[in-house]
Amino acid sequence: MKRALLGLGLAACGGSKPHQPQVQHALLSVAADERMIAVPAGNYIAGSTPEERAASYDDYQQTAGQDSARENKWFDTEEDRRITELPAFRIDLMPVTQAQYAEMVTAGKAKPPAIDEAAWKTQGFNQDFATEVARFVWKDGRPPTGREDHPVVLVTHEEAVGYSVWRGAQRGEKRRLPTAAEYEKAA
């Protein structure tokens, strides 16, 4: 299972009516629930042009000091620019935080995000574990000190799905991860 440094966001199924937090859930963090935004139905511009993809490769090379994005063809599967229509949906305004994910860990419904250097190296990521990844690794079942309000990272897709289902159950509604199209439109 790949564990990447990706933020976790949630979408709610159904209409665009904003969720109203309920008092009986006061023990749970409601920050994500209060910050869900309605994205109206309609068209948006999806995808990118070949020039935008080339610029992304150039930007990564300039920022990272290496050309591994181009070598690994990170943006080659990006679809060409097009008009896409989506129904209305709701999505978290901010990524799920380490503290919010820790609520599910504390409830015994998930294991803390974890990865070691050997496992990291087998996944082909460019980031140096000691200088760029280790600071995000949980210790003693808790998020890294000072990073509780940072986006949760080092979770698998399955763990992210599990969080969305768990959070939805806590709120009495169905939740899921946003689709790629929803995430792109919301951005």
In tens, the pLDDT along 99-145 reads 999 999 999 999 999 999 999 888 877 788 998 899 999 999 999 99
Note the pLDDT of residue 31.
45
Note the pLDDT of residue 1.
54
pTM surpassing 0.85? Answer: no
Strand pairing partners for 90? 12, 38
Q: CA triplet 15, 16, 21: central angle to 5 degrees?
A: 100
Task: Report, as ranges of residue numbers, the positions in the chain whose pLDDT lies below 70.
Answer: 1-34
- Measured from the Cβ of residue 16, the count of other Cβ atoms closer than 10 Å reads 15
Phi, psi for 166 (deg, rounded to 5): -60, -50
Note the pLDDT of residue 126.
75
Note the pLDDT of residue 59.
95
- If phi > 0 it is left, if psi is from -120 to 50 it is alpha, else beta; for residue 175 that is beta
- If phi > 0 it is left, if psi is from -120 to 50 it is alpha, else beta; for residue 77 that is alpha
C-alpha to C-alpha distance for 177 and 164, rounded to whole angstroms: 6
